[in-house]
């Protein structure tokens, strides 16, 4: 056990010393700073809704016979055009609003496009960091021949590969999580100076930590997948091109010709896992002599996360088989 921990520590030290890891960390933080800076520059200061606006909302809801607490909750942000920091994690709506009509405000909400921005950009961060970290970390071993030196120090290949997989997972997760938190905190000045931090409570912080954690896990799983592809191809560029080809061409094939495979697409499941939404699948139906495809719910976001983990595990198993059977020179 001590030997493995020393091996893992050595791999983590090598990872932290890699230029690619540092560049990706700078890019991840830079994306967050860029989002925050642009948001601050384009944001105009707005005021909270006045009493007359809230009263108008109350009057519009009178016909629905709602309780006082329900009307107060529905009208709390009526006419509110301020930038809300809580939009970072998605729109906060109550279940009752889906079943009871709500007034349609005659207003503009210039920042509604930022709703759920963290899961969306987090998905890109996970793909960027996980894909490049895994591909470069494993590909460089074959390119520079350092994998032979590692095996001279520790000849047990399973231990070596396990340490590398764990290092890839941890490194990818840390870079992606740091980037996601940078996005969140970069929007804080805009909320304080030109918007509002209303709704930023304990639940918000829990959701923020949870979302950032899921982004890190997704990046780690993608890092394992891309690292395994690098083992197969023995080249960083080969792994990156393979992943890009799958994302572009594979996505088209799945969505057009083999729709039934969509619930098992790793990127599809990771996206659902990040956004806490159900995955969907296409089912062929026949009615009135016509055949058509319809989209139905497939798996919950937790199931989607487990599927992504299972797919990464299958890739890792393939990596162990190839790494043990093939000459590394």
Lowest mean pLDDT across 9-13, 138-142, 250-254, 292-296: 292-296
Q: Tell me which of 287 and 136 has the higher pLDDT.
A: 136
Q: Which residues contact 39 (CB under 8 A, 6 or more apart)?
A: 83, 111, 114, 186, 187, 190
Structure tokens at 102: 């709500």
Domain count, the chain: 2
Whether 150 and 187 share a structural domain: yes
Mean pLDDT is highest, among 52-56, 84-88, 193-197, 258-262, for 193-197
* Mean pLDDT on 256-273: 76
Final residue belonging to a domain, choices 93, 114, 135: 114
Whether 28 and 51 share a structural domain: no
Query: How is 202-239 classified by DSSP, letter by letter?
Result: HHHHHHHHHHHHHHHHHHHHHHHHHHHHHHHHSSHHHH
Whether 104 and 136 share a structural domain: no
314 — pLDDT class (breaks 50, 70, 90): very high
Q: Which domain holds residue 136?
A: 2-37+115-325
Contact between 262 and 170 (Cβ < 8 Å) = no
169 — pLDDT class (breaks 50, 70, 90): very high
**Rounded to an integer, what distance in angstroms lies between the CA atom of residue 237 and that of residue 245?**
12
Q: Evaluate if residue 95 carries a pLDDT over 60.
A: no
Whether 125 and 257 share a structural domain: yes
Half-sphere exposure of 228 (CA within 13 A, CB side): 20
Quote the DSSP letter at residue 268: H
Whether 96 and 164 share a structural domain: no
Final residue belonging to a domain, choices 95, 114, 133: 114
| Res 167: pLDDT | 95
Whether 99 and 172 share a structural domain: no
Final residue belonging to a domain, choices 90, 114, 138: 114
């Amino acid at each position: 056990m001590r030997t493995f921990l020393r091996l893992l520590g050595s791999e983590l030290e090598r990872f932290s010393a890699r230029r690619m890891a540092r560049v990706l960390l700078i890019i991840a933080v830079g994306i967050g700073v860029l989002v925050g800076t642009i948001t601050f520059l384009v944001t105009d200061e707005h005021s909270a809704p006045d009493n007359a606006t809230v009263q108008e909302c109350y009057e519009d809801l009178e016909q629905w016979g709602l309780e006082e607490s329900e009307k107060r909750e529905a009208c709390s942000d009526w006419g509110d055009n301020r930038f809300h920091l809580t939009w970072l994690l998605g729109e906060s709506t109550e279940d009752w609003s889906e079943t009871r009509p709500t007034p349609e405000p005659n207003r503009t909400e210039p920042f509604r496009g930022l709703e759920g921005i963290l899961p969306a950009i987090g998905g890109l961060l996970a793909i960027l960091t996980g894909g490049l970290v895994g591909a470069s970390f494993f590909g460089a071993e074959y390119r520079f021949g350092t994998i032979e030196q590692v095996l001279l120090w520790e000849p047990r290949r399973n231990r070596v590969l396990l340490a590398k997989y764990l290092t890839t997972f941890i490194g990818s997760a840390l870079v992606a999580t740091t980037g996601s938190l940078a996005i969140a905190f970069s929007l804080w000045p805009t909320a304080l100076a030109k918007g509002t931090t209303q709704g930023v409570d304990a639940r918000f912080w829990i959701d923020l930590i949870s979302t950032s954690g899921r982004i890190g896990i997704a990046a780690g799983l993608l890092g394992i997948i891309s690292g395994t592809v690098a083992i197969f191809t023995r080249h960083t560029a080969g792994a990156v091109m393979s992943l890009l080809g799958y994302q572009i061409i594979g996505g088209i094939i799945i969505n057009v010709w083999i729709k039934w495979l969509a619930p098992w697409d790793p990127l599809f499941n990771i996206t659902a896992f990040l956004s806490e939404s159900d995955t969907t699948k296409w089912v062929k139906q026949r009615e009135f002599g016509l055949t058509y495809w319809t989209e139905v719910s497939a798996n919950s976001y937790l199931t989607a996360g487990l599927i992504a983990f299972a797919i990464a595990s299958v890739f890792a198993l393939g990596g162990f088989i190839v790494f043990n059977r093939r000459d590394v020179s």
